Structure 1
C-alpha cells in the first residue's frame, strides 16, 4: 500500500507505531534508530500518533550509544508544534518504557490504567482527550500481551474502562500493537462499536515483521468516525527502523 495522500481539513489522520525502543539489531550489531524515527514520524503528517515501546530512560543504552538523546523518547520524537504525552508501563533494571501519544491538537486530559495480566508482562493503556475543532476526541493507546488469554482479559479491561470513563456519544480512537494474530480481537472490538480499516474490505494490511510483512499486529479502531483510507508505508528505510511498520488511517469528521 502506498503512503496516505494529503488529507483535507475535515479529516483526522491517526497513526500507530511500535518503535521497538528506538534500537534495532542484537548484540554488537545493535544500532540506534531513534533519529531516523523522528524524521519518519514527521513525514506521516498525522494528527494523532500512538506509539508503543517508548523509552522514558535507559541508563545502559545511554552509555552504549554516544548519540542517545538527552530527552525522553516521546519528547524527542514529537514534531515541532506537537504535544507529547507519555506513561510508563514497565520498569526494568536499567530504565522505563511505555506508551506515548503525540498530537498537534490541544490536550485536555490524560489518564492511565495498568492492564498487566501477569508479572512477566507489564502492560498499560494510555487515555488522552484531545480537542479537535472544538470537539473532544478520546484516544487510547494500547500494547496487548503476547498470550491469547491475556489479550482477551485485557480487551475486557479496555471495555470496562471505556464504559466507565468515556461518554458513549463522544468520538473515540483505540490504536496500538494488539499482538493479535488473525485479528481475533476484532469481534470484541466491534461489539464495543469500534470499527477498523478492515471494514474497507480492501487489500490485506500487513505490519509485521517489517522486513517481510506476513500479518497485521497493529490496529486502529474508532467509533463515531468513518475510516476513509488506510496505508502502511513501505520501503527499505521503514523496514530497518523497527520490527513493526506503522499503520496510518484517515477518518472523516
Structure 2
C-alpha cells in the first residue's frame, strides 16, 4: 500500500519549490512535526524497521520545514538486527532531495544516540543546541535553526519535552528564556515538536510568550493507531496560523506511535 492510497485525508497538496536564492514568492509557510520513534516499531521478535516508509512519508508531507524527534544518529543494536539498516544517520537518510538536514543529539544510550532534526527546504544560516534535561532519567534538548525564508530571517526551534508535568513547566520556562536571549523580538519564530502535553496545559504559557497555534478540531496525534489526544504542537510568533492537518490512514498508524502534525502559517 502506498502512502497516497492509505486514505484520502492523507493527501497533502504540493508546494512550489523556492528559487536557489531563497527569494521565491511565499504566501504560507508549511511546518510539519513528527516523532518518528527512532525508525522502528513493534516489540520483541515483532520489531520492524520503518525508516524506509518514513522516508516516503516525509516526502509526502511536502513541508517547508520538517521538525523530527527521536531521530537516531547511530545505533549498534539496530545495525546488527536489521539487514536494511541505512548506512547514513537517520536525518540524512530522511532528507528529501533539495533539502538541508540539521541534527543535534539529545540522548546518549548504551547502543547509540538520538535527538532532534530539522529538514529545511530553505537555506540554513546557522544552528545551535541547548540541553533541556530536567533530571537524570530523561535526556532532552532543543534544536534552534536560523533560516532565510523568502528573503527574511526565520527561526525554527525543535523540542521534545519531558514526560513529567513539572519537567515540562520548567522546560517551557527555559524555552522562553532561550527565545528572549537568542531570537530578535521582531523576527518570526516557529516552535514545533513533541510536547508530551496532555490536555494542552502548556498552551497558556506558550501564548504568554507570544507563541500561538491553531486551536479547534480533533487534531489528535497519539497514539497513532487510535488517536486519543494531541501531544504534538506547532507554535509561532509573527506568523498567523491558517490551517492544521493530521494525516490519517492505516499506513500512517504503522510507521510510528505518533502521527505527524502539519500546520500552515501566513507570513506577515
Question: C-alpha separation between the residues in 1 aligned to 2:218 and 2:249?
Answer: 17
Question: C-alpha separation between the residues in 1 aligned to 2:204 and 2:66?
Answer: 24
Match of 2:42 in 1: 25
The offset of 1:105, in angstroms, is: 0.4
Match of 2:255 in 1: 241
Stretches of structure 2 that go unaligned for 5 or more consecutive residues are 1-7, 17-25
- 1:231 and 2:238 matched: no
- 1:159 and 2:166 matched: no
Question: C-alpha separation between the residues in 1 aligned to 2:14 and 2:121?
Answer: 16
Picking from 217, 220, 223, the partner of 1:206 is 220
- 1:108 and 2:108 matched: no
Q: Tell me, yes or no, if the aligned pair for 1:210 and 1:238 is still in contact at 8 Å.
A: yes
Question: C-alpha separation between the residues in 2 aligned to 1:158 and 1:109?
Answer: 18
Figure out how many residues of one structure are paired with residues of the other and give that number.
Answer: 250
Picking from 157, 170, 179, the partner of 1:140 is 157
- 1:2 and 2:6 matched: no
- Superposed CA RMSD in Å reads 1.1
With over 3 angstroms needed to count, the CA separation of the structure-2 counterparts of 1:111 and 1:162, relative to structure 1, is: same
Q: Tell me, yes or no, if the aligned pair for 1:155 and 1:188 is still in contact at 8 Å.
A: yes
Picking from 189, 205, 208, the partner of 2:206 is 189
What is the CA deviation profile of residues 52-110 of structure 1, one whole-angstrom value per residue up to 9, with x for unaligned ones? 00000000110000000000000000000110000000000100000000001000010
- 1:222 and 2:239 matched: no
Question: C-alpha separation between the residues in 1 aligned to 2:257 and 2:181?
Answer: 34
Match of 2:193 in 1: 176
Stretches of structure 1 that go unaligned for 5 or more consecutive residues are none
Question: C-alpha separation between the residues in 2 aligned to 1:157 and 1:139?
Answer: 16
Question: C-alpha separation between the residues in 2 aligned to 1:48 and 1:223?
Answer: 15
Question: C-alpha separation between the residues in 2 aligned to 1:13 and 1:22?
Answer: 23
Match of 2:3 in 1: none
* Segments ≥4 residues shifted beyond 6 Å: none
Question: C-alpha separation between the residues in 1 aligned to 2:54 and 2:156?
Answer: 22
Question: C-alpha separation between the residues in 1 aligned to 2:214 and 2:80?
Answer: 41
1:93-132 aligned at under 5 Å gives the runs 93-132=110-149
Question: C-alpha separation between the residues in 1 aligned to 2:238 and 2:97?
Answer: 29
The offset of 1:10, in angstroms, is: 1.3
What is the CA deviation profile of residues 209-252 of structure 1, one whole-angstrom value per residue up to 9, with x for unaligned ones? 00000000000000111111110000010000000000001111
What's the secondary structure of 2:198's corresponding residue? coil
What is the CA deviation profile of residues 167-203 of structure 1, one whole-angstrom value per residue up to 9, with x for unaligned ones? 01100000000000000000000000000111xx3x1
Q: Tell me, yes or no, if the aligned pair for 1:2 and 1:231 is still in contact at 8 Å.
A: no
What's the secondary structure of 1:13's corresponding residue? strand
